[in-house]
Structure formats: structure tokens, C-alpha cells
Amino acid sequence: MSENIFKQDFQVTQKEREGLHQHPGKLIWFTGLSGSGKSTLANALEKYWHDQGLHTYVLDGDNIRRGVNRDLDFTPEGRAENLRRIAEIGKLFVDAGILTIAAFVSPLIKDRSSIKEIVGADHFVEVYIKASVETCEKRDVKGLYKKARSGEISNFTGISAPYEEPKKADMVIDTERMSLEEGLEKLVNQIGYC
């Protein structure tokens, strides 16, 4: 099948789109436990950049799983396919010259390495949104930890499924030690673009 499919090039290139936007296309990848602060920080970062006139978009776990990836579960295979598709979607957004923030638990090192490979290291920034299981469980924003403890939800990251901490993240935002404002400031200063 794939030997009969050819890459089609178009006149307008990624570089030209980036030139028009006056910033590069990037995939800023947030990984961390449920409740660590990924969505909160993604929202704050997009709002900050958008207000500076930059071209942005957020890909978020819950939203993608309610739509394009609604057929996938939380088994290791389901998560790997979820993340593979998101990496391909992220690659398209980068090609469109957009500063894209992806907020996914993405618990396994091997899956995060594959994402980086698909998107390309030059366009990829890995950010570990760090908070302990204990803190996330205390926050329990959606009541999912309670359900995981009672066995109502299986394969729940941090409780009944693993989370592998990044060993070499480009950036770490520790939401137990930093306020939302401090986390946002660190992201903006270290990633740049404004």
C-alpha cells in the first residue's frame, strides 16, 4: 500500500508560513500526571502568546480523546496509538507554522521518544509538568483518583499504571514549588518567541 503513496510538495513552505507569522512552528509537549497542571499551564501559555499576536493552538488529552481518538483506551497499546496520532497531528500544526502546546499524560519514555522522532528534534520541546501522585490525588480535579482507588477506573496513571519521569526534559515546571504565575514566567522566558 505505502509504496503507492507519494509525498506531495506545495509551493508555500513551512519556512514561508513561519516568515509570515514571524515565529517558528513548534510542538511544546507537556507530560505529567493527571492533575499535575498541564491544562492549566497550557491555557495560560496560549493566552499569553495569543495576546502577543502569536499563532497558537492547544491539543489537550481530554478533548482529543472525546473526538479523533475516541476509539482508543488506556492500555499501553491504546496510549501508544493515541500519542502516535497526536504526534502526527502536531507535526501538521508545526508545518502550518503554529506554536502548538500539547498536554498529554504520555507516561512512557519510549512513547515520548517516538513523538520527538515523528515531529523532529528541532521542532520539539519536552516540558515535564511535575507534581507527585500525593499532590495530584489531593487536588483530584475530576474525581478520577477516587474512582481509581475504588477500582472503578483501571489502568489509571500513578495508581494502577506507571508514569516514567523524563530523565532529560528540556524544562521542568514543578507545580508544587512554583505558583501558576511563576510557572508561566519560566515557560515564556525559556521557550522565547516574544
96 is an interface residue for ligand ADP by CB under 6 A: no
Give residues 11-40 in contact with ligand ADP (rule: CB under 6 A): 32, 34-40
105 is an interface residue for ligand PPS by CB under 6 A: yes
> Secondary structure of the chain in the HEC alphabet?
CHHHCCCCCCCCCHHHHHHHHCCCCEEEEEECCCCCCHHHHHHHHHHHHHHCCCCEEEEEHHHHHHCCCCCCCCCHHHHHHHHHHHHHHHHHHHHCCCEEEEECCCCCHHHHHHHHHHHCHHHEEEEEEECCHHHHHHHCCCCHHHHHHHCCCCCCECCCECCCCCCCCCEEEECCCCCHHHHHHHHHHHHCCC
74 binds, among ligand ADP, ligand PPS, none (CB under 5 to 8 A by kind): ligand PPS
100 binds, among ligand PPS, ligand ADP, none (CB under 5 to 8 A by kind): none
Catalytically annotated residue among 34, 36, 39, 106: 106
CB of 32 to ligand PPS, least distance (A): 7
180 binds, among ligand ADP, ligand PPS, none (CB under 5 to 8 A by kind): ligand ADP
Is-contact 94 26, C-beta < 8 A?
A: yes
Q: What are phi and psi of 7, to 5 degrees?
A: -70, 130
Contact mark string toward ligand PPS, 78..97, x via CB under 6 A: -x--xx--------------
128 is an interface residue for ligand PPS by CB under 6 A: no
Is-contact 17 116, C-beta < 8 A?
A: no
User: Is the CB of 2 or the CB of 179 nearer to ligand ADP?
Assistant: 179
Has 160 been annotated as catalytic? no
User: What are the catalytic residues?
Assistant: 106
Residues that bind ligand ADP (CB under 6 A): 32, 34-41, 103, 139, 141, 175, 178-180, 183
Residues that bind ligand PPS (CB under 6 A): 34-35, 38-39, 61-62, 65, 74, 79, 82-83, 104-107, 142, 144, 153, 155-157
